[in-house]
């Protein structure tokens, strides 16, 4: 992965799941990491576990409050060069529309959509000045195919794919690469941390995600796509990998499938 050698990479959601696997693989590839999630103590443990921990730094941010997060990032990073931003932080949902508080929809949008927009806008001016940079967002197959129990998550992930498409069009003339990663079912703690109708965590596994590919494999395939500067890539296996293709070419079949699940 020579693409990442010596690059300054800001990685959100770095303390667990896909983000942790990415951090490990990026460190092995010679990147200099800025590790972000909510808890500084957990991030520090991650930093110390990586190859060449002295190359990496910790920046704890709460992306449910994007404006505050950006203000803190500005004070900590200043004019530090960011070669690659990987917007990986996110939270999922497991609740029916009728049972879901409006506040839960707002929280999903703040983290999964506005957090991406805020950090992208923070790094973008310097990238444009330098005519160099790469912005990545880990969206989801849920950003292409709507399913039960994920209405707020689907909405945020659909929205962020549209944002990334616009970003790609607007920055093409400036030499900035823009990549959207769409994981399908990945075997992580995403279901445990998913929000229920009242905003509490689900706290138990989801059979779909439990049967998915490993976080390590997802990270490997995602970083391969990033290094190739792909515009968009679906990562996964089985029906979750096929779903965006079917949604495009056989939407009626997909509608019947998701209604029955």
Catalytic sites, residue numbers: 153
176 in Cβ contact with 166 (< 8 Å): no
Residues 6+ apart with CB under 8 A from 31: 4, 5, 6, 7, 8, 9, 55, 84
Distance CA 119, CA 126 (A): 12
Distance CA 29, CA 6 (A): 9
Taking alpha carbons only, the member of 81, 90, 89, 83 closest to residue 177 is 83
Residues 6+ apart with CB under 8 A from 154: 142, 143, 145, 146, 147
């Amino acid at each position: 992965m020579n693409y990442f050698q010596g690059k300054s990479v800001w990685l959100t959601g770095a303390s667990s799941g896909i983000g942790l696997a990415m951090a490990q693989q990026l460190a092995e590839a010679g990147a200099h990491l800025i590790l972000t999630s909510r808890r500084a103590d957990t991030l520090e443990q991650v930093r110390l576990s990586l190859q060449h921990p002295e190359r990496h730094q910790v920046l704890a941010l709460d992306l449910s409050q994007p404006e505050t997060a950006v203000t803190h990032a500005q004070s900590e990073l200043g004019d530090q060069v960011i070669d690659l931003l990987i917007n990986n932080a996110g939270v999922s949902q497991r609740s029916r529309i009728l049972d879901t508080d409006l506040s839960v929809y707002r929280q999903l949008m703040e983290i999964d959509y506005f957090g991406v927009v805020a950090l992208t806008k923070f790094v973008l001016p310097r990238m444009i000045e330098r005519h160099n940079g790469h912005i990545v967002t880990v969206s989801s197959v849920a950003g292409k195919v709507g399913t039960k129990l994920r209405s707020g998550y689907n909405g945020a992930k659909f929205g962020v794919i549209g944002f990334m498409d616009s970003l790609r069009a607007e920055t093409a003339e400036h030499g900035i690469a823009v990549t959207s990663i769409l994981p399908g079912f990945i075997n992580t703690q995403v279901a445990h941390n998913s929000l229920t109708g009242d905003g509490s965590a689900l706290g138990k596994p989801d059979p779909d995600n439990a049967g998915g590919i490993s976080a390590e494999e997802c990270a490997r395939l995602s970083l391969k796509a990033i290094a190739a500067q792909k515009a968009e890539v679906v990562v996964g296996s089985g029906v979750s990998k096929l779903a965006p293709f079917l949604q495009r070419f056989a939407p009626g079949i997909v509608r019947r499938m998701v209604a029955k699940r």
